[in-house]
C-alpha cells in the first residue's frame, strides 16, 4: 500500500492518500462509494482494483438526472 495522488473533481482538490484499493481510497476520503467514480489513465476503476504507490487518480461525482 502506498500513497496515491488524488484529484477530487469538479473542485480540483488534490490530496495524497494511502490506500490499497479503490474502496479503501473512497472510505479514506469519506466519500460514498455509489456516488463517485474513480478514474486512472482514462479507465474507470471498480472498488476492488488495487492501487499502486504513485498512481494518479481522479474522483468524479456521479451525476444523474431525469425528466
Q: Does CATH place domain 2-61 in 3.40.1190.20?
A: no
pLDDT tens digit sequence for 19-67: 999 999 999 999 999 999 999 999 999 999 999 999 999 999 998 766 6
pTM of the model: 0.87
- Report pLDDT for 63: 82
- Please say if the pLDDT value at position 2 is more than 70: no
Sequence spans of domains, the chain: 2-61
The stretch 16-21 carries a mean pLDDT of 95
- DSSP codes of every residue in 4-62: EEEEETTTTEEEEEEESBHHHHHHHHT--TTSEEEEETTEEE-TT-B--TT-EEEEEE-
How far is it, in rounded angstroms, from Cα 66 to Cα 26? Answer: 26
pLDDT of amino acid 67: 63
- In this predicted structure, what is the pLDDT of residue 25? 97
Amino acid at each position: 500500500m502506498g500513497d496515491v495522488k488524488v484529484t477530487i473533481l469538479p473542485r480540483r482538490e488534490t490530496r495524497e492518500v494511502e490506500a490499497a484499493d479503490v474502496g479503501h481510497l473512497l472510505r479514506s476520503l469519506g466519500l460514498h462509494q455509489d456516488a463517485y467514480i474513480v478514474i486512472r489513465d482514462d479507465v474507470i476503476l471498480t472498488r476492488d482494483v488495487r492501487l499502486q504507490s504513485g498512481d494518479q487518480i481522479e474522483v468524479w461525482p456521479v451525476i444523474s438526472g431525469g425528466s
